[in-house]
Every structure is written in structure tokens, then in C-alpha cells.
Copies of this chain bind each other. A is one copy, B any other.
Amino acid sequence: MIQHTNTSRRLDLTFAALSDPTRRAILARLARGEKTVSELAAPFNVTMPAITKHLKVMERAGLVERGQTAQWRPCRLKPKPLGEAVDWIDRYREIWETNFARLDTLLEELQAPAQNAAARSRKKAKGKVRKKQKGGGS
């Protein structure tokens, strides 16, 4: 029946919010600063209620926060869920890439003399992971 902890539920909402191109575009524009609903709606070819709905989805995910000044309800981006999403992905990417590195090593061992294979594999296992990320792995 799956865990479905609070964190898990939040990830559901965050990833779901990110799975729509209109919402991602809204987010991208929101990243540059606070915007009103009509400002957000302008570039898209959908009606206002559609945007309102999208904003609700993002609000539910904790990705946007809204203000109120007169009849305007400006939106601003809350990046925390984005961080949690990245953290989740990175955890498993890391494991996967470790496995990949291990497979690498294994394949190498299969075609190398057996005596120094263990030593070499211990050596190689560092620095292989997190190729793509900006920093060195932790």
C-alpha cells in the first residue's frame, strides 16, 4: 500500500506540479520575480480560470505563495519543494551511478588478471559518481 508519508505526499504534489508545460513556464517566469495572475496569463493562450487552477496546483505543492494588494493577488515562487525534489532524484541517481561504476569495475575484472583486480576496483570506485553535477560528490 506504499508508505505515503508526508514527505512522499509532498513529492507527489511537487512532481505533479512540474509535469505540466504551462506550469513550468509559469514557474520560470516567477523565478524572475513576483507577478500578478493576469501578467502570468498574458503570454499563454488559455483563459484566466485555467491559470487560476494551475496556480492552485502549485500552491498546494508549496511552490508558490500569494499576496493580496487591492484586487491583485501577486504570486511569488517558494523554492523549497524544488530542493526536496532534486534531493530525492539525486539520492537515487547517485545509487544508480554507483552501481554503474561497480558494473564497470566488474566488467574490467572479468578481463583482467585476478590477483590485483580487488585492489584496482577499490581505487577506481572514487570520483566516478556525480560526473554531471557541478561539485565533487559527498
Further pairs besides A1-B45, A18-B88, A19-B19: 18, Cβ < 8 Å: A8-B21, A9-B21, A11-B24, A12-B19, A14-B19, A15-B15, A27-B92, A31-B95, A31-B99, A32-B99, A33-B99, A77-B96, A79-B100, A82-B89, A85-B89, A86-B90, A133-B135, A135-B136
Number of A interface residues, CB 8 Å?
Answer: 51
Interface of chain A: mostly helix, strand, loop or mixed? helix
Note all chain B residues with C-beta closer than 8 A to A24: 8, 11, 88
| Chain A residues within 8 Å of B, Cβ to Cβ | 1-4, 8-9, 11-16, 18-22, 24-25, 27-28, 30-33, 44-45, 77, 79, 82-83, 85-86, 88-90, 92-93, 95-97, 99-100, 130, 132-138
